[in-house]
Amino acid sequence: MTAAILVRQRAPLEVTQVEIPELGVGQVLVQVKASGICGKQLDEISGRRGDDAFLPHLLGHEGAGIVVEVGPGVRKVKPGDHVVLHWMKGAGIDCLPPRFTRNGTMISAGWVTTFSEYTIASENRMTPIPDDIPFDLAFLLGCAVTTGLGIVFNDAALMPGQSIAVFGVGGVGINVIQGASLVNAYPIVAIDLHDTKLKQAAAFGATHTINANRTDSVQALMELSDRRGVDVAVDLTGLRAVRETAYRVTTATGKTIFAGVPSHGEPMTIDSFPLHFGRLVTGVHGGGTRPDTDIPRYLQLFRLGKLKLAEQVTHRFALEGVNDAIEVVRQGKAGRCVLQMS
């Protein structure tokens, strides 16, 4: 099969042929039809979290495809099923990660990878979906949509009329905006460096937008909130200065949510005194998503016209163009970018 491999950090992926091993207990062979590109992959390539001990390895953690074969013990899916592939654990066997080979050399992989024509994934990293859901939309449920909505519904427990500021409106951030709109939060403030992303954020429910290149976001947010700050501030960037800003603009009894992955060796500094009087700070792990219950529920919202999926996809590439796709994402030019397999 054709796959994109991270061989060296800070270098282009190598698109090459990889041999598929036999299935082990709890493993499922899936023909990948569509895959997203998340910030996590950019971090792996750039080495943002430090040296990678598992090179060379496959990439990608949100996708959609068709089950081809199941290994011993698998009961959740069967050949022919359409599935969303996700990195969050769902029901089923949590098996060993597969090991692919290229010319006799081992290629590592996690419990799910999606930058390839086929993949072997753990049974608990996939959720069956109806056959009429397009693959090039279904892949969004693998991470961006579920994490973004989960941040709103689970981590923030955002209520109607509460205020929220979202720093960084990429794939997850745009769905935090969308989730906040679904619960009638106000104001919903999107902060980013790119006008194209802010325009998209407004279309997904942001009531106010701030381009941090031109406007002091702290001053603007304080003016919007009568100097109180916002009930919930969500950082998707992982940048120290932005994380500290998100904490500063949170109201005295509000919640600051850190969803962006920080760079290795870049700690932040906050005044912890407010934590003794009701201020909350929390990190994010997939928005607390329960894939087996949340994905069908979100697809129902999509069928009812209440959840935007197609509007998120702005760029499409073949697997062979993965490095071009990564560059578009890195430059902040894309909403959601989809790799479509041949």
In tens, the pLDDT along 15-50 reads 999 999 999 999 999 999 999 998 889 989 988 878
Q: Is the Cβ–Cβ distance between 56 and 80 less than 8 Å?
A: no
Using one digit for the tens of pLDDT, what is the confidence trace for 128-137? 999 999 999 9
Q: What is the pLDDT along the chain (342 residues), one digit of tens a residue?
A: 999 999 999 999 999 999 999 999 999 999 999 999 988 899 899 888 788 888 999 999 999 999 999 999 999 999 999 999 999 999 999 999 999 999 999 999 999 999 999 999 999 999 999 999 999 999 999 999 999 999 999 999 999 999 999 999 999 999 999 999 999 999 999 999 999 999 999 999 999 999 999 999 999 999 999 999 999 999 999 999 999 999 999 999 999 999 998 888 888 999 999 999 999 999 999 999 999 999 999 999 999 999 999 999 999 999 999 999 999 999 888 889 999 997
Distance from C-alpha of 329 to C-alpha of 33, rounded to nearest angstrom: 20
Both tokens assigned to 190: 């999107």
- The CATH number of domain 147-285, selected from 3.40.50.720, 3.40.640.10, 3.40.109.10, 3.30.460.80: 3.40.50.720
- Provide CATH code, domain 2-142+309-340: 3.90.180.10
| 153: exposed, middle or buried (Cβ count in 10 Å: 0-12, 13-18, 19+) | middle
Question: pTM (2 decimals)?
Answer: 0.95
Q: What does the domain layout of the chain look like in residue ranges? A: 2-142+309-340, 147-285
For the chain, give the mean pLDDT. 95
